[in-house]
Every structure is written in structure tokens, then in C-alpha cells.
Amino acid sequence: MDLKALLTLNNADKLFANPKRIALLKQIRITGSISQGAKQAGISYKAAWDAVNDMNLQAPQPVISSEKGGKGGGGAKLTEFGERLLKLYELMDQMQDMVLKALLDAAVPMDNLLDLMAHFSLKTSARNQLAGEVIALKDDSLNDNVRVKLAGGQEIDAAITHASTDKLGLHIGKKVLLLFKAPAVSIHSLQQPLSSGNRLKGQLLQIKRDTQRSEITLDIGGNDRLYASVCNDSLEGLPLALGDHLQACFEPGQTLIACVK
């Protein structure tokens, strides 16, 4: 399937913007003229003028500012509001494309907007990107401890400042994305006791080695993968056959939180 959605913006039940009007605005921005913009967009001058006038009347601020001209014709340009409208339309068009791609790919999470955006567009240096829901917030004097439940049921603690909690608008039930780097994770046997920090149990999916370090991939449930980059010496004595169960450990302070506010 080659699906394409046509984005239309209505003001109540009245048309405000659609692909044809957005194409006209783009050409007016390029040419500096409603008449030339209409020509490039493939519509009549009257249709272009009526569209611009209608948008200007509906919007809280004009979309196009124009001057009546003489022999050479008048000039026209997008206002600041018009420029923001084009940017908004482009962003919404990108989001529509992401949703359509997700429809045709069963591996793409569609539980919330954050999961969808992270799958297609969020690029960071943190190898681990895990989505979850805030289930507890605790004030620990200098910082806040945020507990997040992952799709597979396991839980992660993140230590962030009070200011960060306020900035992100965190609350119980908030959907968030947890970010932490693979070198921040250590790997241990399930039997090894650990006094503090996050501990996630997982099944070994992949191990890659060089002379000094190993990259480990664990399945931690809920279609989530956890990645660790560790010194080879730290893996001595551990069961490292594919399918073996291990625990990944990292400190709450190593975890960053991202969300859509």
C-alpha cells in the first residue's frame, strides 16, 4: 500500500487551509506576489486572491500582507503568523506520514505519541531508549526519584532535579522516555546480590566481543531491548550462551527523562 493523507485545517466547519492553499502560500513567499504565486501554484488570480482574503479574515492575524501596485503590480509576503502556519503544516504532514508508516509496520509502537515519534525521529547518543509510565514520584531532598514502569512490567528509577520535574510536568500516569548510555550498564548473574541501583532482568539475545570490551543485548520483555558495553574482565564466570538470563544494573542518576509536555 502507498497511503497518503491530505491534511485539511477547518475553522469550525469552514475551510481554512488545505494542500492547495498551502502550496499557494509557499509560492507567494518565493515570488513576493499573489499573481505570480497563483501562476506558479497553477490556479487563477481570482481564486488565489479569494483564498488569501478568506484566510486573512479567518485568522487571528493576517497570513499575507500585500500592497497595491501600479504598473509592475503589488508586492505580497507572508506575515510572521503565515510563516508559522507553513511550519505547523509541515510538522503535521510529517506526523501524518509517521502514523501511516506505523499502520503498515506491526513492530512500530502506537500506544502514545512519544513512542511513535521516538521510533521514527528521536536520535540521541544514548543507545538505550525505553518508554514507560510514571508510577511514583518521591522527593529525596536535593533530587526527585521518578519510578517508571516499562511495557514488560519491570521498573526503573531515575534521579532528576526538582526543577527538571517541574519543567517536564511529571505526574503519576505520565508517558515518558528513559535514556541512558550502554557503558553505564553493568551485567551480572541473577544470583549476585546488589545493594542499590536499577536492576533489570533479561535474556541474552546477542553478544559481540573485541579484545577489551563486549556489547551485550538483552530482551527485557515488552518488545524492549537493553544494551550494555562492558569490559571483558567483568564477564568472567557469567553464563553467556544465547538465551541465558542475566541482570543489567545502572544507577538512577545515569538516566535521563524525555517526554511530550
pLDDT of residue 1: 67
CB contact at 8 A, 203 and 218 = yes
C-alpha cell, 139: 522527593
Phi, psi at 257, each rounded to 5°: -120, 135
19-72 confidence digits (pLDDT tens): 999 999 999 999 999 999 999 999 999 999 999 999 999 999 999 998 765 444
57 CB-near residues (< 8 Å, 6+ apart): none
Residues of the chain with pLDDT under 70: 1, 68-74, 107-125, 261
Cβ neighbors of 143 (< 8 A, separation 6 or more) are 159, 160, 161, 162
CA distances from 86 to 22, 23, 258 (A): 7, 9, 27
